[in-house]
Structure 1
């Protein structure tokens, strides 16, 4: 299990995230501002950081820039905010954040982001030579505001998205690519795609039709 640093100025959020992550077997360090986060990062050497954007002393993006510029961004960082814009999310991923979670953070999204972050961190640690985390390519998109790329293993694993367009259009493009990927991966089985994506079959059919997804795609590719 991992050592995770949670940085958020809201006591309730810190305690909730700590409880969830502790239940998953992780060790959790808490910080309510940038000063405490700096000290905890030096003291604990966390495997992953969950970093709030809006904090009273130094905001999360500024702290992320500081870590990146001083060579301290050696661990995956997942940004969190309930008020951030697309520009803020994109800026954070360009600096070196792994992903962005929009508050209120759901349990499923939190655990998925943590799992992906720790996997990515393990890959970095296994590299033949030390490298700043910000130097690694392809940030993982976890939430709709941070759709930069989708990184997976399997068919049609890599898809770039154009961010210079309205949010609805960008989200539709991501969702279409997401469902097409799972259709191919599950050989066109709607039952398995529904299970994989967490949608009921009726809602899934409606969603695929709305997005213009070719339902024969998976079978045709015979994956």
Structure 2
């Protein structure tokens, strides 16, 4: 069971999403605007947030920026909108949104996006729980998280991802971009360069996925070669 926050100014959408997610066994809190969402996030952590873009007090992209700049963007956020442009969706992804759902939201797309988002949340929790020994031979003495510092079971799970090495002594945005690039390269390699399967695995629409990969400088041909 996951703790999920649904933020949408439309009463019918909040109720519908709450009913679906409750049926899936999740605990759901509701907020009808950014003010309530801020209060809910400050009161406790969530495993996932479904956030509407267009709201009367503060739009979802602005709220996302607030959480990102204040260190509160510790959970996957799925943006929702029936009127957003591709540029808006790309901007939200650049800030740190996990994915984007276009209204009206189908049941299949909702559940797939939520499942992918919760998988990301769980992966973050597992990585955060790993203690990195302060031994030069293990981390190279430069703050990077190398292959040897991970337990064997986790090394097998992350595979090529862990070989990237993540320099933790960097600005948050640079570190996040580095992780996201490694994340997408991992999935591209595992899926043999199939954008359709990568889109399904990561919970992103193909158009948004292409834009994200170009933005991160991911070599699309590399996944096919691997």
Aligned residues: 157
Can you give the 5+ residue segments of structure 2 that lack an aligned partner in the other structure?
131-167, 197-205, 211-226
Report the RMSD for the aligned CA atoms in angstroms: 3.2
Q: How does 1:2-13 map to 2 (within 5 A)?
A: 2-13=2-13
Aligned residue for 2:14? 14
Aligned residue for 1:155? 191
SS at 1:104's partner residue?
coil
Distance 2:9 2:182 in 1: 25
| Cα distance change of structure 1 residues 139 and 18 upon mapping to structure 2, 3 Å threshold | farther
| Structure with the largest fraction of helix | 2
Contact 1:138 1:151 in 2 (8 A): no
SS at 1:137's partner residue?
helix
State the Cα distance separating 1:128 from its structure 2 match: 4.0
Runs of 4+ residues over 6 Å off in structure 1: 129-134
Can you give the 5+ residue segments of structure 1 that lack an aligned partner in the other structure?
141-147, 161-169, 175-223
Aligned residue for 2:213? none
Contact 2:188 2:195 in 1 (8 A): no
State the Cα distance separating 1:42 from its structure 2 match: 1.8
Distance 2:114 2:23 in 1: 13
SS at 2:18's partner residue?
helix
Q: How does 1:75-90 map to 2 (within 5 A)?
A: 75-90=75-90
Aligned residue for 1:137? 180
State the Cα distance separating 1:154 from its structure 2 match: 3.2
**Is 1:63 the equivalent of 2:99?**
no
Contact 1:93 1:139 in 2 (8 A): no
| Cα distance change of structure 1 residues 123 and 11 upon mapping to structure 2, 3 Å threshold | same
Aligned residue for 1:74? 74
| Cα distance change of structure 1 residues 55 and 151 upon mapping to structure 2, 3 Å threshold | farther
Distance 2:60 2:39 in 1: 15
Distance 1:123 1:23 in 2: 24
Aligned residue for 1:34? 34
State the Cα distance separating 1:150 from its structure 2 match: 10
| Cα distance change of structure 1 residues 139 and 156 upon mapping to structure 2, 3 Å threshold | same
Distance 2:93 2:58 in 1: 18
